[in-house]
Homo-oligomer: A and B are copies of this chain.
Amino acid sequence: MFEREEYLEKIGEYLRSKQYASIRELLLPLEPADIAVLLEEGGEETMPLLYRLLPKELAAEVFVELESDSQEMLINGFSNTELKEVLDELYLDDAVDIVEEMPANVVIRILDKATPEMRKSINEMLKYPEDSAGSIMNMEYLSLKADMTVEDALKRIRRQGGELETINTLYVTDSTRHLLGVLTVRDLLLAEADDLIGDLMDTNVVSVNTLDDKEVVAQAMSKYDYLSMPVVDGENRLIGIVTVDDAMDVMEEEATEDIEKMAAITPTDKPYLKTSVFDTFRARIPWLLLLMVSATFTGLIITSFENSLAVVPVLTAYIPMLMDTGGNCGSQASVTVIRALSLDEVEFADIFQVVWKEIRVAVLCGAVLAVANFAKMMLVDRMLLGNVALSPLVAGVVCLTLVCAVAVAKFVGCTLPLLAKKIGLDPAVMASPFITTIVDALSLLIYFQFASHILAL
């Protein structure tokens, strides 16, 4: 595999001794994604120089892989001719991705230098909502007609195939661009030259709508093992295709977003080290404030039981353990359900099945934790550490609370994400931090109820 450090060192050496031809030779055999990494590492000073050492086509491929701030910096340094050269080499979907990230003045310059055709397509694609299938599709694809022969089709591929992102999957449309069928380039190669496309094609085509969520598209492509997915408009007219490499990117982004939301972070689409301190702060602080305010309730509960705690102070020592265990149980349940929801394994209709399962798991977990905790409290806290205030009755209160807190945590943890989904919220927000805050308050209430009744406080 690719050894970044080695390459960086060599490039540094060559730069110092101005051996530009050697740098070019070094970079040429590499994958565009790796060259982009090397350019990024060099930073603003060397990037334009290194970039200009690349041959035109490779340069465009590398350009697509760069972070958007590097792209902006390069474009600002480009002459009009250079900008036009890059644009001519780009696939349409990549061009749109770039335009979406640029500030207005750069966008105007790009649209000015693009061919009229590309400008029209970019403008069309920018109209699709963010996160829709339309926003990630490629409008350049090869379509065949049902009355073509295999020979005609192969001729068309030879004529147009060089400029397209993929020819592995081919779509058949009628004269008004309605999607009729699909076939692969393999089907063409294995058929006879005079076979008709209409006879070879598979008419059962799964397609998505331009307005469908891009996550749905990626999920479907993964489920059906598709290399490309046709995107149609409301009248089943073929508008574009989504290729599997874009679907993989969507899957990765969506997983990152879910993970960030689960940790109470507003998702950003920049890599960690590229995000400014202030942006990271802004993504985190609203949730921290919200959760801090929610924690007020736990404070209120403790305040109202202050007198009881003063009578049996040993009760205070077990508050953190009860809160943490409740929080952990709740987040186990919620995270499992959230992931199952986003993988389409579970839906709201399964709520009773989910609750019934979690309740049984909670009984098992609660029982084991209570027994372990009772033994630990008696053997370690009371005998080993000599905490004589810790009577078996107090330990009983703690363990009874534990059982109930686990049950409540699992119940809240598994139902909230399902309810969120039902009312159209993102279930991922209902993960550990929220669940913990709710479960904390409930656990404390249970704790003090048991304490005041059993210990007669």
Contacts and interface: CB of A to CB of B under 8 A. Distances in A.
Interface string A431-444: 11100110010001
Contacts of A264: 328, 331-332
A47 to B, nearest CB: 19
Number of copies: 2
A309 interface: yes
Nearest to A4: B347
A273 B346 contact: yes
B259 A331 contact: no
Say whether chain A's binding surface is mostly helix, strand, loop, or mixed: helix
Contacts of A314: 303, 306
A276 B248 CA distance: 31
Interface in A324-358: 324-325, 327-329, 331-332, 334-337, 339-340, 343, 345-346, 350, 353-354, 357
A66 interface: no
B336 A260 contact: yes
A332 B280 CA distance: 10
A343 B254 CA distance: 13
Interface stretch (A96-104, A107-115, A124-132, A366-374): A366-374
A271 B331 contact: no
Contact of A353 (B273, B309, B372): B273
A345 B263 contact: no
Nearest to A2: B206
Given A265-B336, A365-B281, A288 B329 contact: yes
Nearest to A248: B222
Interface in A172-198: 185-186, 189-190
Could you say which of A2, A259, A285, A302 has the most chain B C-beta atoms within 10 Å of its C-beta? A259
Contact of A306 (B204, B251, B272, B317): B317
A36 to B, nearest CB: 10
Could you say which of A185, A208, A223 has the most chain B C-beta atoms within 10 Å of its C-beta? A223
Contacts of A204: 29-31
24 contacts: A1-B216, A31-B204, A158-B189, A167-B186, A222-B245, A255-B259, A259-B259, A260-B335, A262-B262, A263-B331, A265-B336, A272-B337, A272-B345, A280-B361, A284-B329, A284-B361, A288-B329, A291-B328, A292-B325, A298-B324, A309-B313, A319-B319, A324-B433, A331-B432
6 closest A-B pairs by beta carbon, nearest first, are A263-B335, A298-B320, A225-B245, A255-B255, A272-B340, A295-B321
